[in-house]
Structure 1
C-alpha cells in the first residue's frame, strides 16, 4: 500500500532509530572507549548529513561538515551505580506535537562531576532518560543541555543493574539544537551541574544553522 506523504516521515524516523540502535550496539561491542567514540562520531555524522530524518534542515545537508566533537578524554568516563532510594518526583514536558510527555524520577547517578537525576519515560514502552546541562551551556555546549542516556532511542552505552556506563564524551545535542521545527525535553533543574564538561558534541555546527 502506498504510504503517501503521511507515512514517509514516520518510516524515516523508524529507520533513523533502527540505525541509532545498531550504532550503539556496535559501540558497546568495542572494548576500547576511544575507538568506540570515533565510531560514534563517524556514524552520527553520517546520519546527520544524509538521513531523511536528520534534524539538520534539508537545504543544509549537502554542505554539512559534521557535528563538532571534542577529542576523547578518559577522565570523563565513569561506571556508576544508580541510587534508587530517592523520593518519587514527576514532571511533564509539553511537546508541540505529542501533548504532555510524562517523566518520573527513578534514581540518581552520583558522578564526580555532579549528581544527575535518572528519569523514566512514562509513555508506552518506557525508557531511561538522562540529560545534562553543564557550566558551559550557552557558550561551547548547547544552551538547553545535552543527552547522555536515552534508551527509548537507542542511546545506551551499556552496563547492568549494578553499574551503568556513563561516558560524558558521548553527550550529544538534542534535535532542537539543529532546527526550531523540533521540540525536545531539556534538562530539568536536577540535571544541571556546576562543572564544565568540555567533551562530547559541542555547539558551533548547531549555531551556524
Structure 2
C-alpha cells in the first residue's frame, strides 16, 4: 500500500520528533533526568501525534504507558565485539522485507549477564538495531521483546567508533505491541537474556 501524502508526512514528523527527543536526552548530564525527559516526550507523542501506535487505545492515550523506576545500575558503555556473520530477512509489512546483518555483539555486565547481538538494518540509510527479549517477556513486558537501539528511527543514546551507550531503562515496546497493522523485527535468539530486566517500558 502506497502511503498518502498526509500519512507520509506525519510519519516523517514522528521520526523527526523521536530523533529530536533522543538528541535532547543525550545532551542531558543526568541520565535519570534524561530518562524522565524521554518518558514525558514519549507520553506527549503517544497522546497527540497522528502516527501514535496507541491511537486505538484511548485509555493509554490518556494515562500513558507504564515504566519501571529508573535504575542507574542498568546503564553501560559497552564495546561492540566481533561476531560471526549472520543475515536474515524479516517481514516489514507494507514497507516490504528488511534485511538484518549481524555486525557485532555486546556483553552485558552483571546484574544482567548474557549478550545481545548488534544488527545493521540493510536498507536505505541503514541503522543500528539492538532488540532484547529478557525474563520479563510475557510476564511484565511484551512477549516478543523490546527495543534498546533503533537508529533508523532516532533511538540512539550515543557512543563512538567502538562503543555504544546501552541504558536498559530506555527499553521500549515496538509499535506492533499496540497495533497489528505494524510489522516489527523481533528479538532473535542472540538477543535473548535470561535475567528479568525490570527497567524501561512495561505492560
Q: Tell me, yes or no, whether TM beats 0.5.
A: yes
Matched, 1:69 2:67: yes
| 8 Å contact from structure 2 (residues 53, 179) kept in 1 | yes
In structure 2, the gaps of 5 or more residues are none
**Residue of structure 1 equivalent to 2:106:** 109
Contact 2:46 2:61 in 1 (8 A): no
In the alignment, the residues of structure 1 paired with residue 191 and residue 176 of structure 2 have an alpha-carbon distance, to the nearest angstrom, of 18
Distance 1:118 1:63, change over 3 A: closer
Structure 1's consecutive aligned runs of 4 or more residues displaced over 3 angstroms after TM superposition are none
Q: Does the Cα contact within 8 Å between 2:47 and 2:64 map onto a contact in 1?
A: yes
Q: What is residue 86 of structure 1 aligned with on the other side?
A: 83
Deviations 1:154-191 (A, max 9, x none): 00001111321100000000001111121111101110
Question: Which of the numbers 91, 95, 107 marks the counterpart of 2:92?
Answer: 95
Q: How much is the aligned-residue C-alpha RMSD, in angstroms?
A: 1.4
Q: Is the 8 A contact 1:50 1:61 kept in 2?
A: no
* TM-score for both structures, normalised by structure 1: 0.91
**Aligned twin of 2:122:** 122
CA distance in 2, matches of 1:157, 1:167: 8
Residues matched between the structures, number: 198
Per-residue CA distance 1:75-97 (angstroms, 9 max, x = gap):
111010000x2211001112221
Task: Using structure 2 for the length normalisation, give the TM-score.
Answer: 0.94
Distance 1:141 1:58, change over 3 A: closer
1:103-182 superposed matches below 5 A: 103-112=100-109, 113=112, 114-182=114-182
Q: Distance in 2 between matches of 1:156 and 1:63?
A: 24
